[in-house]
């Protein structure tokens, strides 16, 4: 009974999604309906961080594929290790929603025979956000899954910071009720005993794509490499549709020298960064740069200015998804560099 009420509360939190309308479950068709079906089957509920993408079906399928095939699907790394990485990355990116959800899930998973050092994994994941991590505290065979989780949450933290509130519970849930709700939700999200969902089921959602050079860290796991290759291709296509070429060039140039450090509390850096863009491209430039480099700085003003030039929900989600994935891919390069070549 209580678990059912908590599930209902999280589902209702979809109404609190900012800036875009989420496609209701009963009205979903096509690719959105298939992603919803997989999410509910494998995650025990329709997770808002996935559903917020519903105005842009291909971006939604891409986001789901990288999450499912790293965090949820059966593999060589245990779920506790994956949740520790998700929690650490989310803490580094100041994403309270994701810290809440994945911290709850991690706490609900009992210590098991996998021997995962949760503290070491979480510390590594925090440090990895700025390229400061030492050699990863896991065996090479687990690298595609655990680096994959880290890259996936570099993406999700940005999208969640932009589109969701700070808590997975709707605004009407009182603070006094949240401790018990967190314990219950952790139990709901706790994976069942035994292997996770079958790997590879999300691949059919997106067309095949070549594995890019920056996926070397995933090469020993064909499913993870394939999922990211398809997701990268889908988000690049989304960027080509919804982000002006000059903005894409600007963000790539900025990311090429970015070390993961935030640009600061002021947004003056945005005005300096977009000064070379045509006036018509500056709203998209400000928003894309903020999503990628300081998602906590995205507010209604930035979004409204962009929507004055491109009013559709799908365009907004595609721009944010492209910028978030571009930043995540940049982080993946230093995560790959931390691996012992031996």
CB burial string 185-211: b at 16+ within 10 A, e below: bbebbbbeeeebbebbbbbebbeebeb
Average pLDDT over residues 5-34: 82
Q: Would you place residue 191 in the very low, low, confident or very high pLDDT band (cuts 50, 70, 90)?
A: confident
pLDDT for 111 equals 76
Name the token pair of 75.
């593999």
Active site residue 98: yes
Name the token pair of 118.
């949760």
Q: Say how far apart CA 145 and CA 36 lie, in whole Å.
A: 23
Of 82, 76, 47, give the one whose Cα is nearest residue 63.
47
Start-to-end C-alpha separation, the chain: 52
Q: Which residue among 65, 98, 162, 288 is the active-site one? A: 98
Q: Model confidence over 119-128: pLDDT tens digits?
A: 999 999 999 8
Residue 179: count of CB within 10 angstroms of its CB: 9
SS3 labels along the chain: CHHHHHHHHHHHHHHHCCCCCCCCHHHCCHHHHHHHHHHHHHHCCCCHHHHCCCCCHHHHHHHHHHHHHHHHCCCCCCHHHHHHHHHHHHHHCCCHHHHHHHHHHHHHCCCCCCCCCHHHHHHHHHHHCCCCCCCCCCCHHHHHHHHHHHHHHHHHHHHHHHHCCCCCCCCCCCHHHHHHHHHHHHHHHCCCCCCCCCCCCCHHHCCCCCCCHHHHHHCCCHHHHHHHHHHHHHHHHHHHHHCCHHHHHHHHHHHHCCCCCCCCCCCHHHHHHHCCCCHHHHHHHHHHHHHHHCHHHCCHHHHHHHHCCCCCHHHHHHHHHHHHHHHHHHHHHHHHHCCCCC
pLDDT at 231 over 80: yes
> What CA–CA distances, in Å, run from 108 to 79, 178, 198?
11, 16, 22
Q: Model confidence over 35-89: pLDDT tens digits?
A: 999 999 998 889 999 999 999 999 999 999 999 999 999 999 999 999 999 999 9
pTM to 2 decimal places: 0.93
CA angle 39, 181, 108 (to 5 degrees): 65
Average pLDDT over residues 151-167: 95
Q: Would you place residue 172 in the very low, low, confident or very high pLDDT band (cuts 50, 70, 90)?
A: low
pLDDT for 170 equals 64
Q: Model confidence over 202-217: pLDDT tens digits?
A: 999 999 999 999 999 9
Q: Model confidence over 245-301: pLDDT tens digits?
A: 999 999 999 999 999 988 877 889 999 999 999 999 999 999 999 999 999 999 999
Name the token pair of 54.
């519903």
Average pLDDT over residues 20-27: 95
pLDDT for 44 equals 83
pLDDT for 342 equals 43
Q: Model confidence over 125-152: pLDDT tens digits?
A: 999 888 887 889 999 999 999 999 999 9
Query: Higher model confidence: residue 168 or residue 7?
Result: 168
Q: Model confidence over 310-341: pLDDT tens digits?
A: 999 999 999 999 999 999 999 999 998 777 55
Instruction: Report yes or no: 230 and 206 within 8 Å, Cβ to Cβ.
Output: yes
């Amino acid at each position: 009974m209580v678990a059912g009420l908590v599930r209902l509360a999280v589902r209702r939190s979809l109404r609190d999604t900012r800036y875009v309308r989420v496609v209701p479950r009963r009205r979903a068709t096509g690719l959105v309906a298939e992603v919803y079906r997989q999410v509910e089957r494998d995650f025990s509920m329709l997770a808002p961080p996935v559903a917020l993408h519903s105005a842009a079906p291909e971006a939604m399928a891409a986001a789901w594929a990288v999450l499912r095939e790293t965090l949820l699907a059966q593999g060589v790394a245990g779920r506790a290790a994956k949740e520790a990485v998700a929690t650490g990355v989310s803490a580094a990116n100041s994403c309270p929603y994701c810290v809440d959800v994945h911290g709850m899930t991690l706490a609900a998973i009992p210590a098991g025979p996998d021997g995962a050092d949760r503290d070491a994994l979480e510390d590594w994941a925090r440090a990895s956000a700025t390229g400061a991590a030492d050699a990863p505290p896991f065996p090479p065979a687990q690298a595609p899954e655990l680096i994959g989780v880290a890259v996936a949450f570099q993406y999700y933290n940005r999208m969640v910071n932009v589109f969701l509130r700070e808590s997975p519970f709707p605004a009407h849930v009182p603070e006094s009720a949240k401790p018990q709700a967190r314990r219950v939700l952790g139990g709901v999200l706790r994976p069942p005993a035994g292997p996770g969902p079958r790997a590879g089921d999300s691949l059919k959602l997106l067309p095949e794509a070549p594995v890019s050079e920056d996926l070397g860290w995933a090469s020993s796991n064909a499913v993870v490499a394939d999922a990211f290759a398809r997701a990268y291709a889908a988000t690049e296509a989304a960027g080509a549709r919804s982000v002006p070429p000059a903005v894409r060039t600007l963000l790539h140039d900025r990311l090429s020298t970015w070390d993961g450090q935030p640009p600061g509390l002021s947004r003056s850096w945005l005005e300096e960064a977009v000064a070379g863009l045509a006036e018509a491209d500056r709203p998209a430039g400000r928003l894309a740069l903020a999503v990628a480099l300081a998602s906590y700085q995205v507010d209604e003003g930035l979004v409204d200015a962009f929507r004055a030039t491109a009013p559709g929900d799908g365009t907004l989600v595609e721009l944010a998804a492209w910028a978030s994935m571009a930043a995540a891919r940049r982080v993946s390069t230093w995560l790959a560099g931390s691996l012992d070549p031996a």
